[in-house]
Amino acid sequence: MTPLPSPSAQRPGGPPSVPGMVRARVRAALRRPARAPRPARPVPLTPEEAEQRALLLRLMSLLLQYPDAELTAARPVITSTVAALPPSSAAGHLAEFTAWFTGEETEALERTYVETFDLRRRSSLYLTYYLHGDTRRRGMALLTLAQRYRAAGWDTDGGELPDHLPVVLEFAALTGPGRGEAPLRQHRRGIELIHRALTDADSPYRHVFAALTELLPPPTEADLRAVAELAAQGPPDEEVGLDPYGAGEFAPPDTFVPPGQAPPTLVPPSAPTRQEARR
């Protein structure tokens, strides 16, 4: 093998030789700190893939709504729609959920939903709560989200807050993967926390969140650390010095936690008056 000529072998005043450029670039690369790899750009979806993705998101939106009479009556249609989806991990998770969903009585479905999302801690469906807690920043986040909907030509009927996950999923289904799914990506940590809480509780709704996470970017190391911290400490709170929900747990918005019973107030007996002393 012929050794590479040294950089000094190049002609004076001429362009640098290829070996010299290679050595210079290698030395410069060794001196530079390592760069974090850039995230891969998402591959554009075909029209058929975009349509199937929107259908998955719309099904998730339906299945995460309160199971009233209209929704429970539509269970055969929802189940057949899920069964007709192209094979995928997300479709498999939804099939797991609909197998349970179609086999339960209406009263049992209603009770499970309320216990899971309205009463159980760490599984509220209001996404901005996990990011901002009950602070003034949450009000601004709700306003920004509502403005995003209006800018896309879409307005809610006012029945739910704009950060309610079924509303966010419906917006993503109607608007598309780019702008439509931006709120889902923004609240990736809250979604991950809910998924973990439902998995720990062995809730059937964990299958719907497993399907949703299949469509989102995987959590980063920073996301996982933030989720662990959020699970341990709860969301931000502006009430300095108060810990109304106990250590390590927190309640979803609009959840009433009764305060503990106050200790009795002990009043010392008063001294007898002069008239009482004479008696």
Displacement of CA 66 from its chain's centroid (Å): 19
Question: Is the pLDDT at 249 greater than 70, yes or no?
Answer: no
Mean pLDDT confidence for 37-60 = 81
pLDDT per residue as tens digits for the range 99-121: 999 999 999 999 999 999 988 76
Q: In a 10 Å sphere around its CB, with 0-12 CB exposed, 13-18 middle and 19+ buried, how is residue 127 labelled?
A: buried
- In percent, the amount of the chain with pLDDT more than 90 equals 48
Tell me if 185 sits within 8 A of 216, measured CB to CB. yes
Q: Residue 153: left if φ>0, alpha if ψ -120 to 50, beta else—which one?
A: left
The CATH code for residues 47-233 is: 1.10.3480
Mean pLDDT in the chain? 77
Distance, CA of 159 to CA of 140 (rounded, Å)? 19
pLDDT at 159: 78
Q: Return the CA Rg of the chain.
A: 29
N-to-C CA span, the chain: 125
Distance, CA of 113 to CA of 208 (rounded, Å)? 13
pLDDT at 211: 97
Domain limits, the chain: 47-233
pLDDT per residue as tens digits for the range 258-273: 334 444 444 444 555 5
Least confident window among 46-50, 72-76, 151-155, 265-269: 265-269
Q: Which pLDDT band, with edges at 50, 70 and 90, does 21 fall under?
A: very low
pLDDT at 62: 96
Only one residue has tokens 């709560």, namely 129
Distance, CA of 79 to CA of 33 (rounded, Å)? 53
